[in-house]
Amino acid sequence: MEEKSFLQNKKVLVKFVGKKGGFNNGKGHVLEGGKMQGTYTRFPAPMNASGSIKEFLTKDEIDFFSLRLGDNLSSSNKDYWENFGISLTKEDMVLDLSDPLQMLQFKALHNYQAKICTNPADLTKRGTYQWCLYNTDDETLTKKSILDSQQKAYINFGAVQQNRDILCYLYRNIEGRIISKESPLNEIQGKFLDILSNKYVKLNLLLADQYLDEKVIINTAYELGIISEKSGEYTDIKSGKKLCNEGRATEQVAAEFLSQPKNQDLRLELEARIKVAKD
């Protein structure tokens, strides 16, 4: 029997609509719509009131997406869901519902009913909406949004294309593969041709991450054998301590940990050890 697919051959436009009224958020202001340009809002996996992962997928959907994404997507798999999410900015985003991860993100957004309007006809019914999901049957709207996102990706990439560490971090997170230490910079840059054409949305999101610098340090230290990763947690090999104050040292938690003022000595030490390892 043919397997049922939960993917759709369509695209959805996620468009910032912003908050109406209020102090200093009028048209043309840096805080227009109640949000500063360049900042983002991250929507993690939907949670229950108790703090546990919400079962927002059916059993059949869990089986389907687990197979497609190569991971266990049951709510009990905290390793996966603690790192899952989607970050939205004031820039338009196009979600390709034929892509398993983007379809999963689309489904997750439907659980944030206070901020995400899933039907443009309902946009005026609630004043808290900040983004709206549009069917991209409007070809003109879709093409402009795609073009804007692609142009932004090329600009963003141009700003980091000489930074080998950032490129290796981006490639690992987009393609799921580690770049060999022997690969020359021009070869690494060439690997981004397809990404700039087809995976520009994820590229833009990764580069907009406020913890990008910390995550690059973590990725570089991991590739050089300075920190270890086991079951989705990161540990400093030298001290044997996890990169967190408490709980699980996932990439996101470890990045936030390294950004805290009280942990700057450890951050500087990791950067120094990375430099020595490269030399």
Q: Where are the domains of the chain?
A: 11-136, 138-209, 211-279
Give the model's pLDDT for residue 216. Answer: 96
Q: What is the pLDDT of residue 20?
A: 54
Q: What is the pTM of this model?
A: 0.60
**Six-digit token string for 250:** 């996932």
Please name which of 182, 183, 188 lies closest in space to residue 163, comparing C-alpha atoms. Answer: 188
The series of mean pLDDT values per 10 residues for the chain, 279 residues long, is 77 81 46 57 91 92 93 89 89 88 95 92 86 74 71 91 96 90 93 89 84 95 94 92 90 92 95 93
> For the packed helices 212-223 and 264-278, what is the interaxial angle rounded to 10 degrees?
50
Three-state secondary structure of 5-24? CCCCCCEEEEEECCCCCCCC
Tell me how far apart the alpha carbons of residues 153 and 98 are, in angstroms, rounded to a whole number: 21
Residue 90 pLDDT: 85
CATH of 211-279, one of 3.40.630.30, 1.20.120.530, 3.30.250.10, 3.20.170.30: 3.30.250.10
Compute the distance between CA of residue 36 and CA of residue 18 in angstroms, rounded to an integer.
11
Q: How far apart are CA 61 and CA 57, in angstroms?
A: 6
Dist. CA 206–CA 214, nearest whole Å: 12
